[in-house]
């Protein structure tokens, strides 16, 4: 049990008869530059019970009325629990299937994870770690919302690397034997979601056993080509990491006043999440490209080559990528110039980490230079060929490279990858108490 960091929770869902299309609202960290999206959501919801009234869309996080909004959220949480709007299921998990416009659904399991097994600090060896750097300055305003709340609603997605699809996917062959607890369209182009309840018992034991097996050291070493020197990583936070970090900060504060026995089963210790296999066909992992502005092309490449030489690598510009499969290569475009930037003998395990390390070093020494992170090679071509700019195309990312990158390099560089469009992000549906 040493590597078991899941927990079978008592999940809360709306009472029968609730309009779930109004109840379920997209993650609060989406559409932060589009207040009109949230105004329309408010119009759709009206007076109906809704998770909109239990969360604080981050578009309002800097508003003068944020304290009043937060108190209203806490008040509504208490009311929904008191008047029966929310019902508490017996201990168990929810199997969920989300269609959002693609050719296949995203499939996951909603359960709880132990925040004692999660750390976001660089160099952490915890079993649950973020894929990207946590910006600690983003935690305090979110913590104010959580303090005084009696429940949490998750938009956290935890990724597992299960290439043989042994844990989550076989459960969908058994849905006829599970109770369907929700089945609804999602507002504003969110698609459709269905959930089945699996009560705590033999089935959830098998789920937890399968997840714990991801920690088998021999299997782990073989999967990633590593040794016992690398910390196990069965769970990577793929989305909602700042919500996870906020839950962690809240728990660290709560547990100060608790005995060891009280800490063991306190509800704030466990965060509700959706666990998804990174090999789920619906998850499209796309690279995020780089464009550097305000630079002289040759000076940029000379600076990068010098940095990599100091790291024991060889870097140069070529007309095409070399045959060396271990080299990290980046097609680039600039005004009147294009080719491939090559880094041989890279010390980083994945190409995006190699490139970001070099660009960070250059930007630190050249304050006039700026960087932007771009989706779409056509946009890189358009921007990169303007005078004073250089665009770099990042290679496609193999799904298990995300785990390998965290295993070997620590958290991945910012803007490493994109996973889904805004409308595909998790909608709030389930809730769990965080107070006794």
Closest by alpha carbon to 86, among 164, 142, 11, 137?
Answer: 11
Asked if 156 and 273 count as a contact pair (C-beta separation under 8 A), the reply is yes
Torsion of CA 21, 27, 28, 34, to 10 degrees: -80
| pLDDT tier for residue 256 given thresholds of 50, 70 and 90 | very high
**How big is the chain, counted in residues?**
436
pLDDT above 90 as % of the chain: 83
CB atoms within 10 A of CB 207: 21
Q: What are phi and psi of 396, to 5 degrees?
A: -60, 155
CB atoms within 10 A of CB 177: 10
CA triplet 335, 340, 343: central angle to 5 degrees?
130
Asked if 48 and 23 count as a contact pair (C-beta separation under 8 A), the reply is yes
- Residue 356's Cβ-count burial label (10 Å; 0-12, 13-18, 19+) is buried
pLDDT at 56: 96
94-139 confidence digits (pLDDT tens): 999 999 988 899 999 999 999 999 999 888 899 999 988 888 888 9
Secondary structure in 3-state letters for 258-325: CCHHHHHCCHHHEEEEEEEECCCCCCCEEECEEEEECCCHHHHHHHHHHHHHHCCCEEEEECCCCCCC
Closest by alpha carbon to 197, among 424, 13, 428?
Answer: 13
- Residue 188's Cβ-count burial label (10 Å; 0-12, 13-18, 19+) is middle
Q: Does the pLDDT of residue 345 top 70, yes or no?
A: yes
Mean pLDDT (whole number) for 386-393: 97
State which H helix or E strand residue 360 sits in.
helix 351-365
Q: Does the pLDDT of residue 419 top 90, yes or no?
A: no
CB atoms within 10 A of CB 258: 14
Give the residue carrying structure tokens 């399991």.
Answer: 109
| pLDDT tier for residue 284 given thresholds of 50, 70 and 90 | confident
148-188 confidence digits (pLDDT tens): 999 999 899 999 999 999 999 999 999 999 999 999 999 99
pLDDT at 138: 85
Q: CB neighbours of 129 closer than 8 A, spacing ≥ 6?
A: 118, 119, 120, 233, 235, 236, 237, 406, 411
Mean pLDDT (whole number) for 29-45: 94
Q: CB neighbours of 135 closer than 8 A, spacing ≥ 6?
A: 242
Residue 235 to residue 241: CA distance in whole angstroms: 12
Both tokens assigned to 111: 């359960």
Q: Does the pLDDT of residue 195 top 80, yes or no?
A: yes
* DSSP 8-state class, residue 132: B
pLDDT at 46: 98
């Amino acid at each position: 049990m040493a590597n078991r960091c899941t927990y079978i929770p008592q999940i809360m869902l709306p009472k029968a008869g609730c309009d779930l299309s109004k109840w379920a609202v997209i993650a609060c960290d989406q559409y932060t530059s589009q207040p009109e999206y949230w105004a329309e959501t408010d119009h759709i919801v009206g007076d109906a019970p809704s998770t909109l009234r239990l969360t604080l869309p981050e578009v309002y996080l800097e508003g003068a009325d944020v304290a009043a909004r937060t108190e209203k959220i806490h008040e509504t949480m208490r009311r929904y629990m008191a008047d029966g709007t929310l019902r508490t299921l017996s201990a168990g998990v929810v199997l969920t299937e989300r269609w959002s416009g693609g050719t296949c659904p995203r499939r996951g399991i909603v359960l709880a994870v132990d925040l004692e097994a999660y750390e976001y600090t660089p160099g952490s060896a915890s079993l649950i770690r973020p894929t990207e750097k946590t910006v600690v300055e983003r935690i305090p305003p979110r913590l104010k919302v959580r303090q005084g709340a009696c429940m949490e609603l998750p938009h956290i997605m935890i990724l597992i690397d299960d290439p043989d699809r042994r844990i989550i996917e076989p459960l969908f062959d058994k849905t006829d034997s599970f109770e369907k607890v929700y089945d609804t369209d999602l507002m504003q182009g969110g698609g459709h979601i269905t959930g089945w309840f699996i009560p705590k018992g033999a089935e959830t034991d098998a789920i937890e056993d399968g997840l714990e097996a991801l920690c088998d050291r021999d299997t782990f070493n073989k999967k990633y080509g590593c040794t016992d020197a690398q910390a196990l990583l069965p769970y990577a936070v793929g989305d909602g990491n700042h919500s996870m970090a906020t839950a962690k900060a809240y728990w660290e504060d709560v547990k100060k006043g608790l005995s060891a026995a009280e800490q063991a089963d306190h509800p704030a210790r466990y965060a509700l999440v959706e666990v998804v296999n990174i090999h789920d066909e619906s998850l499209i992992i796309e690279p995020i490209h780089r464009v550097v502005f305000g630079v002289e092309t040759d000076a940029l490449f000379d600076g990068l080559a010098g940095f990599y030489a100091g790291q024991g690598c060889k870097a140069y510009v070529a007309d095409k990528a070399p045959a060396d499969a271990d080299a990290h290569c980046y097609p680039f475009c600039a005004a009147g110039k294009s080719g491939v930037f090559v880094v041989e003998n890279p010390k980083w395990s994945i190409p995006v980490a190699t490139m970001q390390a070099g660009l960070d070093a250059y930007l630190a020494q050249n304050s006039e230079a700026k960087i932007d992170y771009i989706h779409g090679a056509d946009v890189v071509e358009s921007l990169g060929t303007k005078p004073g700019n250089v665009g770099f195309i990042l290679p496609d990312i193999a799904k298990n490279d995300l785990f390998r990158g965290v295993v070997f390099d620590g958290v991945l560089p910012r803007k490493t990858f994109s996973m889904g469009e805004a409308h595909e992000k998790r909608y709030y549906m389930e809730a769990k108490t965080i107070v006794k």
